[in-house]
Chain A
Amino acid sequence: MRRRAVITGLGVISPVGNNVKDFWNNIVSGVSGIDWVKAFESDGYPSRVAGEVKDFDPTTYMDRKEARRTSRFIQFAVASSGDAVADSRLSEELLRSEKVAVIFGVGMGGMDFLEAQHCVLLEKGPQRVSPFMIPMSIPNMAAGTLAVKYGCRGKNLTIVTACAASTNAMGEAMKMIRNGEADIVISGGSESTITPLSFAGFGSMTALSKSPPEKASRPFDKNRDGFVIAEGSATFIIEELEHAQKRNAPIYAEILGYGTSDDASHITAPDTNGRGAIASMRSALEDAEIEAGMVDYINAHGTSTPLNDAVETRAIKAVFGKETLPSISSTKSMHGHALGAAGAIEAAATILAMKNGWIPPTINYETPDPECDLDYTPNKAIKKNIDYALSNSFGFGGHNATLIFRDFTE
């Protein structure tokens, strides 16, 4: 029998809450974390809304020196991983091992510090650039910092597949557990890219919503006009089942299947027929060894861009057919699009939906779109037993990744 990967701990830092309880309560109640950008003066930018993490004090999670030497995406990873480790009741001894890996998904890394230091370079010259510019900017430093913090000496990887990054990370983590490379993987994603250059760049792509905050993120709605950049992190303790049972760890869910593919069609636009998304979902189902009809809930990528939501709808219809459609929602309607951390934050929403027996809603849904003609759980959560759930993430570069979770019953 193959080794099974289960989730034994969870931590979330998000625009709708800096702990698991607040995050879930807000997601299930349809509370939005989207507002006008506070991180910088956004006059003149094409989009001025964001899903920012509120009231985050890094010194709650680390000493002042570490806080000075880490940028926000790393601080988020330290914070969410600390909660996940505590939740999983993992001892320091268990973590200090070559059988403990760290695999994180990050889209951009420390753009905040990079941009600030580029200004220093231009204004004061190369001699004044901080020695921390590199370690605070490079995307792998979330995973690197966690290895140092917990003493995890096993495989340490960062996956950079844009908005699919943390779903890919968790899938690869599950594979590592299966093939015996690790007994425990600290996995998830982190991102903090609410910066002028990021807003300018995504803005120039016309990818961002220009609507006011309360209507900006409205996945699958006919009047959707782009995504809302968000920030945050979610970390999971992914553990081999027997290892978890032996130490009586709490078990949230099993990661049952993982599929990933690439559209191989365009650098940023999804394949209009959804071929890559279809392949990703189908390979996840095959990996999970379940029929499409068994899936009870899909946490969609649902970015609120005109293209993604139409293509994802097409792909879901192709994979599931009319008779066996699961409940669907996009929680991005509430927490926005956290890029490299999106998959991890949505995996948290999916697992909590499963654990609590509620499908979280797609808020801001008002006007049906003929191109998006499914039931997306509009505006109100619905009570439903969920045995199997699927979560999609798609990224620039044509990256597609899908995870399938199973409610944990022995």
Chain B
Amino acid sequence: MEEKVKAIIAEQLGLQLEEIKIDSRFVEDLGADSLDLVDLVMKLEDEFEVSIDDEQASNLRTVKDALDFIEKLSRAV
């Protein structure tokens, strides 16, 4: 799942896969702006068939945050 999440992030942010580290911060390290983050969350929701509300989304600051959150949601399903 980690590889898939990283691949989606790389694609959405126009980066190379190897630039995406588990502790990369979306805004500070990966150059995302607020529009990118909304777009990224939508893409993750679609890919993993989960629903992430705005408040939850605002707490996803790093690749690890996103991965942990999706894993938790996926287990709950």
A126 to chain B, nearest CB (A): 12
A123 to chain B, nearest CB (A): 12
Q: How far is the CA of A69 from the CA of B38 in the complex (A)?
A: 13
A324 to chain B, nearest CB (A): 56
Chain B residue contacts of A130, Cβ below 8 A:
39, 42
A405 to chain B, nearest CB (A): 40
**B13 sits at the interface (CB 8 A):** yes
Q: Is the CB of B35 within 8 A of A131?
A: yes
* A124 to chain B: closest residue by CB: B46
Number of B residues near A (Cβ < 8 Å) is 12
* A-contact bits for B40-60, CB 8 A (1 contact / 0 none): 001000100000000000000
Q: How far is the CA of A145 from the CA of B11 in the complex (A)?
A: 22
Chain A residue contacts of B31, Cβ below 8 A:
65
Q: Is the CB of A68 within 8 A of B14?
A: yes
**A67 sits at the interface (CB 8 A):** yes
Chain A residue contacts of B46, Cβ below 8 A:
128
Chain A residue contacts of B38, Cβ below 8 A:
131
A-B contact count (CB 8 A): 26
Q: Is the CB of B15 within 8 A of A65?
A: yes
Counting chain A residues whose Cβ lies within 8 A of the other chain, the interface size class is: 10 to 19
Q: How far is the CA of A205 from the CA of B34 in the complex (A)?
A: 41
**A64 sits at the interface (CB 8 A):** yes
* Other-chain residue from B13, B14, B15, B39 in contact with A132 (beta carbon distance below 8 A): B39
Q: Is the CB of B35 within 8 A of A64?
A: no
Q: Is the CB of A65 within 8 A of B14?
A: yes
Chain B residue contacts of A65, Cβ below 8 A:
13-15, 31
Chain A residue contacts of B12, Cβ below 8 A:
68
**A135 sits at the interface (CB 8 A):** yes
Q: How far is the CA of A132 from the CA of B35 in the complex (A)?
A: 7
Which residues of B line the A interface, CB within 8 A? 12-15, 31, 34-36, 38-39, 42, 46
- 8 residue pairs A–B, Cβ–Cβ below 8 Å: A63-B14, A64-B15, A65-B13, A65-B15, A65-B31, A69-B36, A127-B42, A132-B39
